[in-house]
Amino acid sequence: MDCAGAADYSFSNSAADVNEKLAHVLQSVDTPFTVTVPDDDVTFPHAIDAALAHLRANPDYVAAHGYTLRFGILDGDFDIHDVFSFTPTIKADRPLRRHYELMRRYQPFFWAVFRTEVLVLALTEATKTQGAVFRELAFMSCAVLKGKVARLPVVFAMRGMEESLTSAVEVHPMLWFLHDPRSFFRRYSEYRDALAAFARNDASLLTNLLPATPLEHILDLNHATLLGRAVDVGMINHQAQLLLGEPLSSIQVAPQWPGPRPPEAGDLIHSSQREGRRYIWRRRIIEAEPRDEIAIDNGEMATVERQLDAYYLDGQVQHQA
């Protein structure tokens, strides 16, 4: 990799928003590229290298990443069970078209390799927005308006069993709407107007907008391709009955980790170089659809396993090869 040396740590209030934390840290970054890495996921060096190489070779791209998978650990088994994000490269030349492509099959690229100047700009804009849902959308929207975003055919990261410390109401648009529709629409309107102002500050971002079409109109439609998919009429009925006094339980969000289960037909099981460890690649990953967008071959699996071998679990010897 192109980075070397010891890490510098910067501490902040645990209650601070992640965008604010990153914006603060980026004040000390003087390199043209920055990788954002969460502390509770596994991010792979070979994928970071590939993303960095792509950005260096393609100046019209502002970020690059790869697939994100979900996994769990039980004893020595790494259970790699689902593909979390995979949607293809967003490469349209027109900024508002890129925004539409992001929203219509929305999957965030918050953890990726970025051009530092765009990362700073997007984080700064995101801090102006209220609500975790819309702060994330503000970040993604500003970044994709400024340039293309590459999804490379490599495993960039794996998300583990930890549940988010942010409440589901704050991160799930449908749950926010059920909890407080008035604040949801108010915050959306504020976010949309701020995004429109951001776009208007750079005339190059409005190249495909028809003269008679208000910018806010197309932004509303773009966002509707995302928010419309979040609508669940069953949840609306359930919440309405609950608030009308029916003896119903509150709506719960399914956990990220479904729990341990034995290997099944179609799963691949690979022994690790570490004693007592196995990698279980579930059939849901091996045969994931659409096949033209998700392709994790044996070579990529082997690379991921070699890098996972560098990690040790509680109770294992740290210097073990």
Q: What is the pLDDT of residue 252?
A: 84
Paired residues of 33 in beta bridges = 115
Q: What pTM, to 2 d.p., does this model score? A: 0.91
What are the start-end ranges of the H helices in 231-321?
233-243, 283-286, 298-308
Q: For the chain, how far is it from start to end, CA to CA, in angstroms?
A: 20
Tell me the torsion sign for CA atoms 241, 243, 244, 247: positive
Asked if 68 and 158 count as a contact pair (C-beta separation under 8 A), the reply is: yes
* Mean confidence (pLDDT) of the chain: 91
Stretch 161-170: mean pLDDT: 80
Stretch 207-220: mean pLDDT: 88
Comparing 290 with 321, the larger pLDDT belongs to 290
Q: How confident is the model at residue 55 (pLDDT cuts 50, 70, 90)?
A: very high
Q: Give the whole-angstrom CA distance, residue 193 versus residue 98.
A: 19
Q: Among 53-67, 85-99, 224-238, 302-316, whose mean pLDDT is lowest?
A: 302-316
Whether the per-residue pLDDT at 315 is higher than 70: the answer is no
Q: Give the whole-angstrom CA distance, residue 110 versus residue 48.
A: 14
Asked if 87 and 105 count as a contact pair (C-beta separation under 8 A), the reply is: yes
Q: What is the pLDDT of residue 22?
A: 83
Stretch 291-316: mean pLDDT: 90
271-288 pLDDT, tens digit per residue, is 998 999 999 999 999 999
Q: Give the whole-angstrom CA distance, residue 280 versus residue 271.
A: 9
Q: Among 6-10, 41-45, 118-122, whose mean pLDDT is lowest?
A: 6-10
Asked if 50 and 112 count as a contact pair (C-beta separation under 8 A), the reply is: no
Q: Give the whole-angstrom CA distance, residue 309 versus residue 275.
A: 10
73-84 pLDDT, tens digit per residue, is 988 899 999 999
80-117 pLDDT, tens digit per residue, is 999 999 999 999 999 999 999 999 999 999 999 999 99
Whether the per-residue pLDDT at 35 is higher than 50: the answer is yes
Q: What is the pLDDT of residue 318?
A: 44
Q: What is the pLDDT of residue 2?
A: 52
Q: How confident is the model at residue 5 (pLDDT cuts 50, 70, 90)?
A: low
Class of the CATH domain delimited by 18-243: alpha beta
What does the domain layout of the chain look like in residue ranges?
18-243
Q: What is the pLDDT of residue 165?
A: 73
Asked if 191 and 138 count as a contact pair (C-beta separation under 8 A), the reply is: yes
Whether the per-residue pLDDT at 314 is higher than 80: the answer is no
Stretch 139-160: mean pLDDT: 97
Stretch 13-34: mean pLDDT: 82
Q: What is the pLDDT of residue 8?
A: 76
Q: What is the pLDDT of residue 320?
A: 40
